[in-house]
Amino acid sequence: MRARNWVRTASAVRHVLAGMVVAAAATGLVVYGLNGSGNEASAAPVAATDLKTVPFEVSGELPIYPKALWSNGASSAEVRKVEARLIQLKLLDKRWLDNSFGTMTRSAVKKFQSSKGIPELGYVDQNTWDQLKAATHEPTQKELFPPAPVVDGKKLDQRCATGTALCIDKSTRKLRYVVDGVVKLQFDVRFGAKKTATREGAFSVGWKSRNHVSKLYDSPMPYAMFFSGGQAVHYSSDFAARGYAGASHGCVNVRDLGKIKYLFDQVKVGDKVIVYRS
């Protein structure tokens, strides 16, 4: 049994050594025989035409990008200061003052970098930050946190203070169209019933449909401004006829047809929709 194992081991060693001979032959090296005699066995050199090469060339210098202080996806109080300075230069709309370094902040940073003749990195490095500080003043508390609009002695949600927003208060059943902290229009509204409640939170207008008809309920939803899945702000003839005796399937119903026609033309896709309780 031991003899058989030894033969198997020797055979395996020969196969390994044979592979080494082949590899050596490919490089034109000289190896020793396998019979233990010590006689040299020269391997025939392989013709250059039999070898396949892969061309590889490096030219120029690889770019070295400066370290980012704030970049896409960052969220902090410092990002808010960057946004406030960009707003001072009218490179960023006030609606995007939100502590979050997103697509619009990135675009504004690139515009600033282009105006200063520095690489358009799309993020804030130390050089960009130094130049931005030199071109602007330290943001005031009011610039960083614009005061919320006050209606009938009550403040609206702070998120309605900047940019363009449909500010919807479920407690007072009011919708206010707010632009840069100024209330432009006010509407009576009603919401979904308990089983189909209108969602609360911060949203944005995803799309608009002037003559929309619900496929789910087979009911008209004219002047619809969708903000959360199938939920939208739209005109309701039922609300106009029955008032608060009814409820929606989750949408924000408006009963003033003339006002919502005007509102529909003013609101843009991307405008904020804030649904809250005061």
Examine the domain organization and report whether 131 and 175 are in the same domain. no
User: Per the domain annotation, does 172 fall within a domain?
Assistant: yes
- At 48 the pLDDT is 52
User: Per the domain annotation, does 84 fall within a domain?
Assistant: yes
- Active-site residue identified among 160, 167, 212, 251: 251
Burial bucket for residue 55 (CB in 10 Å: 0-12, 13-18, 19+): exposed
User: Per the domain annotation, does 55 fall within a domain?
Assistant: no
Examine the domain organization and report whether 151 and 272 are in the same domain. yes
pTM, whole model, 2 decimals? 0.63
Q: Which residues contact 122 (CB under 8 A, 6 or more apart)?
A: 71, 72, 106, 107, 109, 110, 113
Residue 249 appears among annotated catalytic residues: no
User: Per the domain annotation, does 45 fall within a domain?
Assistant: yes
Examine the domain organization and report whether 90 and 137 are in the same domain. yes
Per-residue pLDDT of the chain (278 residues; tens, 9 = 90+): 444 443 344 444 344 344 443 344 444 433 344 444 444 444 455 555 555 555 555 566 666 889 999 999 999 999 999 999 999 999 999 888 989 999 999 999 999 999 999 999 999 999 999 999 999 999 999 999 988 888 878 889 999 998 899 999 999 999 999 998 899 999 999 999 999 999 999 999 999 999 999 998 889 999 999 999 999 999 999 999 999 999 999 999 999 999 999 999 999 999 999 999 99
* 264 vs 261: CA distance, rounded Å: 5
Q: For residue 147, count other CB atoms closer than 10 A to its CB.
A: 11
Which of 92, 121, 143 delimits the end of a domain? 143
User: Per the domain annotation, does 56 fall within a domain?
Assistant: no
- At 167 the pLDDT is 97
Three-state helix/strand/coil letters over 48-61: HHHCCCCCCCCCCC
- At 273 the pLDDT is 97
Q: DSSP class of residue 244?
A: G
Per DSSP, what are the bridge partners of residue 272?
165, 204
- At 61 the pLDDT is 63
Task: Say how many domains are in the chain.
Answer: 3
User: Per the domain annotation, does 232 fall within a domain?
Assistant: yes
- Active-site residue identified among 15, 137, 234, 249: 234
Residue 160 appears among annotated catalytic residues: no
Query: Domain containing 74 — which CATH number?
Result: 1.10.101.10
